[in-house]
Amino acid sequence: MDTETRDLLPEGLEDRLPQDTAAATRITRALMDVLDSHGYDRVQPPSIEFERSLASRMAGIQTRRMVRFVDPASLRMMALRSDMTPQVGRIAVTRMKNAARPLRLAYAGQVVSLKGDGLDPTRERLQIGAELIGHAGVAAAAEVVAVAIEALQAAGATGISVDFTLPDLVDALSAGPWPLTPAQLAAVRRELDAKDAGALVQAGGAAYLPLLHATGGFVAAMDKLSALAVEGVLDGRLSALQAIAERVQAAGGDVRLTLDPTERHGFEYQSWFGFQIFAQGVQGAVARGGAYAIIGADDGAEGEAAVGFSLYPDPLITALAAQEAKRETLFLPLGHDASAAARLRAVGWRTVAAISAGDDARALGCSHRLDGLEPVRV
């Protein structure tokens, strides 16, 4: 057999070795413990489901980039999950539809895509998240943003900034004060994404030009948006954003707030409110969330309101792994006192027992050695 074939991993997939895995385990526990402390109950959906089930729960989810295969039992298409949020939504509106609202659910698991995304070849990520189901107003959104920040800080993230967005703002403006034809709407959205002022005007979106400039530090961007005075569409959204920002700042911590009102990338199913969180030394967003609707059993209905977030901790883990403290480990020589070793483990020692006379405490990474009943430094 071709040795290379067997030893290489496919593009975009990686092994995590001991030091990084220790960081991943610590960070995952820290994140989940914060979600749990705020009353988010963890659930565990399966890794694979019917493709339809993964795709139909929220607007805008695409199955094109999922690993798909035929279920030999039902002969229907199944897929490997690429996002756990729709699964948690499914649980909320089916098996937990009679649970009291607001329903707080948390989750953690691996998500996989068939291909990488643009320049990022990554095909598997850890996703950790929390969803508050039954409300999607200011209080719910503010809680969710504050919990996401607290979780990241507990995991060791520093230099946190939160970028707010209004994912359906352009839809709402075009349906009201700043009308656009469907063709113009698509073009205006594209040019706002590209932040291309000239092309935006050419696309018939001159009215939308001020949105391009209302971007950056939260206070200044809010001032610019407020000055637009677009009745009925902006007012409610801006006062909601203001209230969320105040709640986040009241929670303390050194958090920088920014606003990019037309940012849509990564907000496939969010409605009036979206946010991304960034941390120092970590490339890309470490969290993304917002308000959305879970499509229920009755397709005609509006769906159940929800707000939540997903953390993608892998880059944070990589950034923090180098600083992960090396743990003290106790070498147990051949013929050691087993009950002494058990007592030391019970008070937190990590032990490595000799298997043969040749085993070397230092080579095995041990900081101490059991000498009689006492640990001594090696």
CA distance 49 to 93: 16
Residues 279-308 contacting a copy of itself, CB under 8 A:
297-299
Total residues at interface with a copy of itself (CB under 8 A): 96
In this structure, are residues 104 and 71 in contact, taking their beta carbons and an 8 Å threshold? no
Residues 181-200 contacting a copy of itself, CB under 8 A:
none
- Pick from 176, 343, 345, 376 the residue near a copy of itself by CB under 8 A: 345
List CB contacts of 348: < 8 A, sequence separation 6 or more.
Answer: none
Query: Is position 322 an interface residue for a copy of itself (rule: CB under 8 A)?
Result: no
- Pick from 59, 60, 64, 69 the residue near a copy of itself by CB under 8 A: 69
Per the annotation, does 85 bind a ligand?
yes
List CB contacts of 6: < 8 A, sequence separation 6 or more.
Answer: none
Residues 36-55 contacting a copy of itself, CB under 8 A:
36-39, 41-50, 52-53
Which two tokens mark 51? 């493709």
Nearest to 223 by CA among 208, 232, 233, 213: 213
Which residue, 96 or 199, is less far from a copy of itself as judged by CB? 96
- Pick from 84, 90, 155, 203 the residue near a copy of itself by CB under 8 A: 90
CA distance 85 to 136: 15
Which two tokens mark 352? 């490595």
Nearest to 155 by CA among 286, 350, 246: 286
CA distance 276 to 270: 12
Query: Is position 57 an interface residue for a copy of itself (rule: CB under 8 A)?
Result: yes
- Smallest gap from residue 315 Cβ to a copy of itself (A): 15
Per the annotation, does 84 bind a ligand?
yes
- Smallest gap from residue 288 Cβ to a copy of itself (A): 21
Per the annotation, does 150 bind a ligand?
no
The phi and psi torsions of 87 (rounded to 5 degrees) equal -65, -40
- Pick from 30, 61, 63, 139 the residue near a copy of itself by CB under 8 A: 139
CA distance 56 to 295: 8
- Pick from 27, 58, 84, 132 the residue near a copy of itself by CB under 8 A: 132
In this structure, are residues 161 and 167 in contact, taking their beta carbons and an 8 Å threshold? no
Which residue, 7 or 302, is less far from a copy of itself as judged by CB? 7
Residues 8-37 contacting a copy of itself, CB under 8 A:
8-18, 20-22, 24-25, 29, 32, 36-37
Give the residue ranges of the annotated binding site for L-histidine: 83-85, 127, 131
